[in-house]
A = this chain, B = another copy of it.
Amino acid sequence: MLSRKIAESTVRRLAIYLRLLEEFDGKGAATLSSEVLARRAGTTSAQVRKDLSFFGSFGKRGLGYDARALAVQLRKILGLTRRYRVLLLGAGRLAGALVQYARFAESGFDIVAVVDKDPQKIGNRWGEVVVEDVKQLETLVREKHVEIAILVTPAESAQELVDRLITCGIHAVLNFAPVQLHVPDDVEVKNVNLAVELETLSYALHHHSAR
């Protein structure tokens, strides 16, 4: 369970290694070296070994890593040995795309509720769930035992909603709204901000991209 602070960059790479291992396993390959994993993940073999070393020693010297066994370890490290109950805030197009995203359920994340404030959308069936009124937020979080919230609302309402989520005891938020959310230290927020990504690309193009 490790209490030492692990760098976010390390955790992100572990998630990438896991994805690669799962592909690899599908192809029946049994064992692979940090060098091979690194090449596919776009990093270095030393980085792979260092990342893993924070959590244990999973390889065999002279041989490499057993793909399936390492995948099991990574799932444990990442907390993917159980399922998570997810609430979507906002029933727009992006939310629709996310619901449909196959890997979602596959990876262990179940969308157990969707809320919106638009009366037009409330009551619509979305796969297994029905879009509820955002007024029911607190009730839903409690009744459905929600652990992760995904914000797909306009920027204006995001902070207010996140405040309400925190009151209900939510500790993990994936935020697609283009605002910086202010939350206490024990709440984890990941931002996905399309504009920032595009503007980084624009920066790169502008500065010749001649690296």
Q: Which residues on the B side are within 8 Å of A200 (C-beta)?
A: 8, 11-12, 15, 188, 190
Q: Which residues on the B side are within 8 Å of A80 (C-beta)?
A: 199, 202
Asked if A209 is an interface residue, CB under 8 A from chain B, the answer is: yes
- In the complex the two chains form, is B78's CB within 8 Å of A180's CB? no
Residue of B nearest to A41 (CB): B180
- Interface residues of chain A, those whose CB is within 8 Å of chain B, are 1-3, 5, 8, 11-12, 14-16, 18-20, 40-42, 77-80, 84, 92-94, 96-98, 100-101, 103-104, 107-109, 147-148, 171-174, 178, 180, 182, 185-188, 190, 192-211
Q: How far is the CB of A77 from chain B (nearest CB, A)?
A: 7
Q: How far is the CB of A201 from chain B (nearest CB, A)?
A: 4
Give the docked Cα–Cα distance between A186 and B204 (Å): 10
- In the complex the two chains form, is A103's CB within 8 Å of B171's CB? no
